[in-house]
């Protein structure tokens, strides 16, 4: 369980990351011809419309969590296959944009040797880490994550999609088992790309930042 400081650092990053992630899903669906998100009150930047109570508690106190999925009706899409991919990628793209903006801010502050309070460094750095983590996790091609929709629409044949959906009857339970019983395994997979992206966006060493985050 995170200490109070870590909890306070996570909350604003969580509100921004999940709210913009779900809003961008809703906005892209609306732009692609589906009014469902608007009718369901999801075309908003109000965090209360997007946060799932249990998922929010999990992401605050555990390594994983979720927001309320945006309801969409793919039959309303103008180009169903393409638009499903666009809607699915809109959320991760929002997190990528946040990570780049925050990371670029940290990079500029570092290059110009502008001193910032350690708590601000932790807040901004954790924002980059959380958003990169959300991108990578959501792109895992397992139902109901965004990556599932993307890969399904990219498969070349109906038979391939049938086999993929059959696999996804058990895949979510396998992923859940890894999260619950072997979270270290998931971290081993995600840590290298998180570390690389963190350095790319901020110019800072990831391991060095993690030591600052937890020990200073």
Find the angle CA(84)-CA(86)-CA(165) to the nearest 5 degrees.
35
Rounded to 5 degrees, φ, ψ at 51 are -80, 135
pLDDT for the residue 195 = 97
pTM confidence score: 0.93
- 3-class DSSP assignment, residue 21: helix
Yes or no: say if 91 and 24 are a contact pair by the CB < 8 Å rule. Answer: yes
pLDDT, position 74: 93
CB 26 within 8 A of CB 42: yes
Question: Which candidate, 192, 176, 186, 92, places its Cα nearest to that of 134?
Answer: 92
Q: According to the model, what pLDDT value does residue 2 have?
A: 61
pLDDT at 63: 60
Which segments of the chain have a pLDDT < 70? 1-2, 62-64
Active site residue 22: yes
Q: Specify the pLDDT at position 176.
A: 86
3-class secondary structure, 51: strand
Confidence (pLDDT) at 62: 67
Among candidate residues 5, 22, 162, 165, the one labeled active-site is 22
Q: Are 32 and 78 in contact (CB under 8 A)?
A: yes
Predicted local confidence at residue 104, as pLDDT: 97
As a whole number of angstroms, the distance between CA 198 and CA 99 comes to: 9
């Amino acid at each position: 369980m995170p200490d109070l400081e870590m909890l306070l650092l996570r909350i604003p990053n969580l509100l921004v990351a999940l709210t913009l992630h779900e809003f961008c899903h809703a906005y892209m669906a609306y732009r692609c011809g589906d009014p469902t998100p608007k009718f369901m009150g999801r075309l908003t930047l109000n965090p209360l419309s997007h946060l799932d109570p249990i998922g929010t508690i999990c992401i605050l106190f555990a390594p994983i969590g979720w927001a309320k999925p945006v309801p969409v009706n793919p039959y309303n899409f103008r180009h169903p296959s393409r638009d499903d991919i666009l809607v699915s990628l809109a959320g991760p793209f929002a997190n990528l944009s946040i990570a780049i903006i925050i990371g670029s801010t940290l990079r500029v502050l570092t290059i110009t040797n502008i001193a910032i309070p350690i708590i601000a460094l932790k807040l901004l750095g954790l924002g980059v880490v959380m958003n990169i983590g959300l991108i990578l996790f959501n792109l895992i091609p397992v139902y109901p994550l965004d990556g599932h929709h993307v890969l399904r629409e990219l498969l070349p044949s109906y038979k391939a999609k049938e086999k993929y959906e059959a696999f996804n009857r058990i895949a979510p339970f396998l992923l859940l088992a890894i999260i619950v019983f072997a979270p270290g395994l998931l971290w081993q997979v995600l840590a290298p790309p998180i570390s690389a992206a963190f350095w790319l966006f901020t110019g800072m060493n990831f391991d060095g930042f993690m030591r600052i985050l937890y020990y200073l």
